[in-house]
Amino acid sequence: MPEALASGRPGRWAVVDPELQRARQRIHTATRVVVLTGAGVSAESGVPTFSGPEGLWRNFSPQELATQAAFDLDPKLVWEWYEWRRGLVAPLSPNPAHRAIAAWEPRVPEFLVATQNVDGLHAAAGSQRVIELHGSLWRTRCNSCRQVREERQVPLPQIPPRCPCGGPLRPDIVWIGEPLPEWAIQRAFQAARAAEVVLVVGTSGVVYPVAALPQLARSAGAFVIEVNPEETPLTAAAQVSLRGKAAELVPLLLESVAR
């Protein structure tokens, strides 16, 4: 089990912490990298996480809002929840963790951000090679003609929005019980199997199949680094697990490669 590290002031980290140094050495030389992120990487941008005391799942039931059945039953209710989130996230900006990950990318030949987040903040920070494994708040999908469109207007003129073909538009988001896009999960798992370093930031590691990615990478020989204020089910797959917040620790971790 990696030695979990108490969070502390950045200055203390940089000087004495051997685990951080070990992770930084691996990062410095890596040419094949996957960064797996969850809601925690966006927490310091102001995006609510799912778990945690004031998390989304505390106040809203995923079964009532993030499933096709819920949408079929009451598309307006589901859209009201997504419109609330779109309105919340629209004015928010990437934080230093998103920006450090984006600054690292050009220096690494094989680089992929595999995110579970639907907030679009990795792309907003400048990340180019991003797979949104669970979709995006900023796209709609038509249940009739299957057309996927970018939709940034907040608030929408009407909810539920209608497709020009007349069909009902849904958020282009992977709901619970729905399969992830095959190309996306294949690409993410292929990158994980080939990676030298996998950096896992801000995910509770409870939702599959994405939660299987760190262990798969570890078994294939990757050096896995976790950044999270808490221990998670993914901690056991990490050679180094740093206890702290993404906006503080990720820039520190990437200091030598994200100028």
Which partner in Zn ion, ligand BV8, none is near 165 (CB below 5 to 8 A by kind)? Answer: Zn ion
Contact 227, 216 (CB under 8 A): no
Backbone angles phi, psi at 57, to 5 degrees: -75, -10
Catalytic residue status for 28: no
- Number of alpha carbons in the 13 Å side-chain half-sphere of residue 157: 3
C-beta of 180: minimal distance to ligand BV8 in Å?
Answer: 6
Q: Distance (Å, rounded) from C-alpha 202 to C-alpha 229?
A: 8
Residue 4, classified by CB atoms within 10 Å of its CB into exposed (0-12), middle (13-18) or buried (19+), is middle
Which partner in ligand BV8, Zn ion, none is near 144 (CB below 5 to 8 A by kind)? Answer: Zn ion
Per rule CB under 6 A, count of chain residues that contact ligand BV8: 36
CB closer to ligand BV8, 173 vs 240: 173
C-beta of 134: minimal distance to ligand BV8 in Å?
Answer: 4
> Is 203 one of the binding residues for ligand BV8 (CB under 6 A)?
yes
CB closer to ligand BV8, 31 vs 84: 84
Task: Provide the β-strand partners of residue 226.
Answer: 200, 241
> Is 42 one of the binding residues for ligand BV8 (CB under 6 A)?
no
Q: Distance (Å, rounded) from C-alpha 21 to C-alpha 23?
A: 5
Q: Distance (Å, rounded) from C-alpha 224 to C-alpha 8?
A: 21
> Is 86 one of the binding residues for ligand BV8 (CB under 6 A)?
no
Q: Distance (Å, rounded) from C-alpha 178 to C-alpha 188?
A: 17
Residues that bind Zn ion (CB under 5 A): 142, 144-145, 163, 165, 167
CB closer to Zn ion, 33 vs 163: 163
Q: Distance (Å, rounded) from C-alpha 131 to C-alpha 79?
A: 24
> Is 174 one of the binding residues for ligand BV8 (CB under 6 A)?
yes
Place of tokens 């929840």: 81
Residues that bind ligand BV8 (CB under 6 A): 38-40, 43-44, 49-52, 55, 66, 116, 118, 134, 173-179, 202-204, 206-210, 227-230, 232, 245-246
Q: Which residues are catalytic?
A: 134
